[in-house]
């Protein structure tokens, strides 16, 4: 029979003896002493209360022993096994396993109840003595007969024996309860020893000593691995250095390639700018010619129409007056042929003189009028030639200036490209400023062209005014010559024909000037178109250059960020490892100081 069975047997015997003492003494008090019976019942209740606490204590001890007997091998988690331990003992068992040498929870009320049972037995005895002595005193005072006194004292003395029964019950139950408590504590002590034995074997991985040993072993391993880590770090730093050198070489190569590409791109840009400027100037000249051509053609058309109308009016007037003159002359000759036969010779001489004078006057006036007309036409032609010459000079100067500005801008761009990629943004900004200045200069050129158009308008007004003056002179001449046209019809017709030929020559010259102006306008228009196309190509080229520079910078930033991130991760891992080693050493030193 093992210790557990003996302990159970002894516990049952002790409980039965205590309960038997309570029943036996209580049965003796039934019907004899109510006070003693009540005290016995109270003692029995306290005894049962203590026995119940001891039973629960033993049940927890038994459950702990079963849990210790069924520990799995190996034990992965301590919490899984602690779930089988009674809840009242889990915290204490965990603390004892982890290394805190604390006692498990014991009996709380039983030690107090053991003393309380003795005190209740003595209290019942004292109460019984008080009642017994009071009855004896009452008997002795109430009679003087010895036999009566003897018989009166016999009953209190018997009651005195019964009164001491409560003390017997209290002492007996106190002893039995103390015995059961001792047996329970002994069982608990055996379980605790078993727990300590398992703590040194099965539960060792969960103890603080084992954890400290593992920390010490880990520190030793880390200390042994530190040289290897240092070597690896040195190798890594050397690799990073080589990688950095390779990256620098690659960056230098890419930068050289970028410089070459930028130089070629800037050269192409300069060529395209020059071509665009030439094209824009040609387009501008063509547009100006196209703009001026309708005005000049309208003016020439108006002059030709006015000259044609003037010729028609003059011819009609000459024909009418000549016909009337011939009819009058014939009538006069027929009527006065007879009357003036004698005076014919004299009158013929007079008419001859008058006609000669009139022809001389008319010829002089027509010469003056032709000279004035020719001078005015020559002035107009010279003005148009001067205007065209000035336009050609201004166009050549503008083309030279634009070409010089384009070459200067391209040269500045080529000089600035040597500082790429940092100067790329400055180049783009400078190109934008140059483009803005070119736009402003183009606006000034357009303003100058507008002023030139205004001058041409003024010249056309001058031509129109001269034409009006010519028309007035011709009308005055017709009015002054209407009196003598009857005599000089043939000479006037010949003179008018000659003037018509001259007018046609002047009109042909004016038409040629108009054609030249139209070609000049076409050249201006073509130059403007080419300039606009050049600006668009320049903007596209600048945008492509800006995008290429941005992409190159982004790729460089991404590669640099990648290498920096790798280096940072290596440094962080090294620092974390060193920090873990330092923390473990600090915890080990703190644990050693605590012990």
Nearest 5°: CA angle at 340, between 337 and 342?
120
Residue 356, token pair as written in the block = 């000669």
Report residue 293: phi and psi, to 5°. Answer: -60, -45
Site of tokens 């400290």: 212
What is residue 240's predicted lDDT score, i.e. its pLDDT?
84
What's the residue count for the chain?
595
Q: Could you tell me the sign of the dihedral formed by the alpha carbons of 509, 515, 520, 521, in that order?
A: positive
Give dist(CA 434, CA 535) in Å, integer: 11
Maximal CA-CA distance, the chain: 240
pLDDT (tens place) for every residue of the chain, 595 residues total: 466 777 778 888 888 888 898 888 888 777 776 777 888 888 889 999 988 988 888 888 888 877 777 776 766 667 667 767 777 777 777 777 776 666 677 777 888 888 888 888 788 777 767 666 665 555 556 555 666 566 656 556 655 655 677 778 888 888 898 888 888 888 888 888 887 777 767 666 666 666 676 677 767 777 777 777 778 878 888 888 888 788 878 878 877 777 777 677 767 766 775 676 667 656 655 665 566 566 556 656 665 566 567 656 656 765 675 566 556 646 655 665 566 556 556 665 666 665 566 657 656 765 675 566 556 556 655 665 665 566 567 656 655 665 555 455 445 544 544 454 454 456 556 656 665 665 576 567 567 656 666 665 665 566 556 556 655 655 665 565 555 556 645 665 565 466 556 645 645 654 565 565 556 557 656 765 766 676 677 677 667 766 765 676 677 677 667 766 766 776 777 677 677 777 777 777 676 667 6
Report residue 331: phi and psi, to 5°. Answer: -65, -40
Q: How distant, in Å, are the alpha carbons of 208, 584, 594 from that of 218?
A: 15, 9, 21
What is residue 317's predicted lDDT score, i.e. its pLDDT?
66
What is residue 226's predicted lDDT score, i.e. its pLDDT?
72
- pTM: predicted TM-score of the whole model, two decimal places: 0.36
- In order, the DSSP letters of 146-157 are HHHHHHHHHHHH
Of 500, 496, 470, 473, nearest to 363 (Cα)? 496
Give dist(CA 177, CA 397) in Å, integer: 132
Give dist(CA 63, CA 469) in Å, integer: 141
- What is the CA 195 to chain-centroid distance, rounded? 63
Site of tokens 């069975």: 5
Domain ranges in the chain are: 3-205, 239-333+354-594
Sequence-distant (≥ 6) Cβ neighbours of residue 22 within 8 angstroms: 40, 43, 44, 47, 169, 172, 173
Of 280, 226, 282, nearest to 580 (Cα)? 226
Of 330, 310, 318, nearest to 490 (Cα)? 318
> Which H or E run includes 43?
helix 34-69
Give dist(CA 225, CA 212) in Å, integer: 19
Query: Which residues on neighbouring strands pair with residue 79, listed in sequence order?
Result: none
Q: How distant, in Å, are the alpha carbons of 129, 284, 484, 496 from that of 493?
A: 190, 48, 13, 5
- In order, the DSSP letters of 416-470 are HHTTTTTTHHHHHHHHHHHHHHHHHHHHHHHHHHHHHHHHHHHHHHHHHHHHHHH
Q: What is the dihedral of CA 102, 104, 107, 111, to 10 degrees?
A: -30
> Which H or E run includes 503?
helix 489-594
> Which H or E run includes 406?
helix 344-417
Residue 280, token pair as written in the block = 């824009």
């Amino acid at each position: 029979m093992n210790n557990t069975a003996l302990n159970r047997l002894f516990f049952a015997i002790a409980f039965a003896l205590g309960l038997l003492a309570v029943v036996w003494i209580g049965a003796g008090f039934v019907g004899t002493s109510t006070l003693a019976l009540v005290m016995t019942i109270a003692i029995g209740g306290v005894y049962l209360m203590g026995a119940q606490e001891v039973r629960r204590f033993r049940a927890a001890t038994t459950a702990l022993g079963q849990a210790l007997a069924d520990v799995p091998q190996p034990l992965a988690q301590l919490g899984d096994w602690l779930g089988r331990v009674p809840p009242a003992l889990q915290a204490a068992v965990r603390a004892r396993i982890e290394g805190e040498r604390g006692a498990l929870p014991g009996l709380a009320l039983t030690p107090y109840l053991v003393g309380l049972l003795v005190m209740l037995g003595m209290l019942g005895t004292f109460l019984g003595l008080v009642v017994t002595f009071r009855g004896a005193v009452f008997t002795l005072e109430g009679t003087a007969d010895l036999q009566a006194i003897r018989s009166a004292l016999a009953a209190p003395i018997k009651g005195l024996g019964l009164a001491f029964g409560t003390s017997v019950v209290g002492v007996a139950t106190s002893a039995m309860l103390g015995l059961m408590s001792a047996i329970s504590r002994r069982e608990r002590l055996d379980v605790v020893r078993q727990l300590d034995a398992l703590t040194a074997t099965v539960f060792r991985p969960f103890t603080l000593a084992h954890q400290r040993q593992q920390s010490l072993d880990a520190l030793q391993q880390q200390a042994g691995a530190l040289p290897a880590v240092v070597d690896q770090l040195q190798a890594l730093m050397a690799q990073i250095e080589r990688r950095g050198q390779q990256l620098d070489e690659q960056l230098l190569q890419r930068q050289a390639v970028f410089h070459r590409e930028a130089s070629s791109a800037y050269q192409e840009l300069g060529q395209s700018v020059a071509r665009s400027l030439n094209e824009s100037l040609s387009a501008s000249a063509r547009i100006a010619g196209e703009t001026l051509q309708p005005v000049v053609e309208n003016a020439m058309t108006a002059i030709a129409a006015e000259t044609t109308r003037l010729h028609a009016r003059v011819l009609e007037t000459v024909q009418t007056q000549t016909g009337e003159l011939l009819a009058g002359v014939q009538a006069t000759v027929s009527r006065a042929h007879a009357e003036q036969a004698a005076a014919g010779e004299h009158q013929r001489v007079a008419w001859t003189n008058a006609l000669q004078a009139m022809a001389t006057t008319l010829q002089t006036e027509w010469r003056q009028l032709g000279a004035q007309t020719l001078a005015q036409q020559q002035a107009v032609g010279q003005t148009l030639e001067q205007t065209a010459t000035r336009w050609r000079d201004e166009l050549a100067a503008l083309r030279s200036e634009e070409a010089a500005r384009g070459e200067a801008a391209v040269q500045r761009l080529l000089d600035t490209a040597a500082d790429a990629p940092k100067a790329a943004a400055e180049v783009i900004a400078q190109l934008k400023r140059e483009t803005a200045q070119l736009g402003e200069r183009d606006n000034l050129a357009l303003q100058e062209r507008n002023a030139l158009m205004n001058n041409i308008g003024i010249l056309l007004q001058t031509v129109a005014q001269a034409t009006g003056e010519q028309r007035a002179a011709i009308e005055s001449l017709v009015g002054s010559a209407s009196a003598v046209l009857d005599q000089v019809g043939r000479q006037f017709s010949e003179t008018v024909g000659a003037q018509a030929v001259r007018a046609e020559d002047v009109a042909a010259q004016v038409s040629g000037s108009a054609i030249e102006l139209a070609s000049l306008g076409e050249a201006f228009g073509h130059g403007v178109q080419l300039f606009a196309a050049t600006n668009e190509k320049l903007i596209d080229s600048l945008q492509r250059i800006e995008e290429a520079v941005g992409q190159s910078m982004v790729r460089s930033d991404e590669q640099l960020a990648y290498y920096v991130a790798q280096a940072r991760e290596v440094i962080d891992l090294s620092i974390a490892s060193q920090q873990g080693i330092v923390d473990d050493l600090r915890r080990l030193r703190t644990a050693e100081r605590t012990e």
